[in-house]
Structure 1
Amino acid sequence: MRDDRAALTRLLSTVRYEVIPTATVEDRVRESVPLDVTVTVTASPTKGLEPTLDLTERLAAAGYRVVPHIAARLIASETHLERIVARLVRAGVEDVFVPAGDADPPVGPYDAALPVLAALSERGNPFPRVGITGYPESHPSIEDDITIQSMWDKRRHATYIVSNLCFDPRVIARWAIRVRRRQVSLPWFLGLAGPVDRAKLVAVATKIGVGESTRFLTRHPSWFARLAVPGGYAPDGLLRNVTRALRSHDVSLTGLHVFTFNQLAETERWRQDLLARYR
């Protein structure tokens, strides 16, 4: 349908690419990512926030809109948070993403995202845009009702939601409708795994650390298995189906948050191919 094509074109034009701060990713971004695509930088529970902040500064200096992931459980103290804020403001960062993070135990006093979000509000909201995580599928350690309630609690401090990876369009649609019924009206970016080769994913997983790789694969085993099946996972199919599932509901998507696993050339080629097809 024409409306679906228009919606897909809009979403593909409002996109964020998530990258992992490795030694080669800066060059990959510069080679493959247009300056009008926002780049978000993850945080490692084993390496801390320093690689995230370093890469954010370099990409911002190169002219990109950069969104660092400020994982709450990696913030060592209130003073550390103040230093992080000052550093990012100096770099011209206007958008941060605040998840709880996977560090266990936390390295400091923050064990969840909400206290960090509240602390940023108390400091006068130094960043005009602040993102939080949504969970279409059950969180491995948090009840569904609590995750929805958490978004309600965070809504005063945040400006948008990014949904975590999910590969069932019906589950995503039901979650989005449920969030809106709970009067959480923040703009929503659909978390979408980009096109990635299984062997390349394994290589990236090795670089980011065995523990983190294990956590990711534990959370998303069905997706990893699909990579080995001919004609398996296709991000464009999931995107079309989510758009259709939400067509008759008053739930609109703001854009896409693409988990690239640093396969940036492949991801950008996929996006441009779809844009050419839908226009």
Structure 2
Amino acid sequence: MSNGKNYFLLKGGHPPETQITTTRAVFTEAYAVLPKGTMMDIVASFLPHFEKTRCWILARPLSGFAETFAHYIMEVQPGGGSQFPEPDKGAQAALFVIDGEITLHFNGKDHVAKKGDFVYIPANMPWTIKNAGDTTANFHWWRKAYEAVEGLPYPTPFIKNDADVIPAQMPGTDGRWATTRFMDPNDLSHDMHITIVTLKPGCTIPFPETHVMEHGLYVIEGKGNYLLNKDWIEVEAGDYMWLRAFCPQACYAGGPGDFRYLLYKDVNRHPKLSFR
């Protein structure tokens, strides 16, 4: 059953020879923009130990850029999946289902995740995934090496649906700017947050946010104008943005509908120093 929310569904494909080459794709020292048109069949990846599965890798650890995480869009055909999806037992996983259903096994039992479900699996917890349905399943998958802290327990696994989480309203916006927080912001055992930011038509982030958190943003609905460092760039559903730490950012929601994006950021830890 649908949860009533809209999420952009990536379908790959291949552009015609008549299409012009100029796009909004850009890669700079401070940020990158991957428009939805860059995510075609030709750039899809295949992973070891996965069957009937392909993915688009949007972010990966890279010297001088995305230092803390990897972000995939997964497409799993009926009967596909993996008994060994995670090659690094020190990596935690977060998944967000945008279409179809997936069956996950972790913490000793099966869990069926459907459209709008957000799943968190801590590091050192084995898990498997299978598409037991008769339609293609699509989901986002974030991987991050967990930064353990003495005296803090590892986070516990959970599943929450977007429709069941009450968005936190930003002060002074009357709900026009709100954030759906899947992780408890007061739980310091988490070293990353995945949220959905929603801006109503005409709403703005009215100042250039400049902060230590690295960001990955995937637009799931609507369109907007985003300030990235010194550049204003128009983005729409299906586009991905990569922001280095301290890259200034702000935006205007372009309307006519809500502007919504999935947001990754690293949190709750001291910056690592180059000496011991």
Shorter-chain TM-score category?
Answer: 0.3 to 0.5
> Which one has the bigger helix percentage?
1
Higher relative contact order (CA 8 A, sep 6+): 1
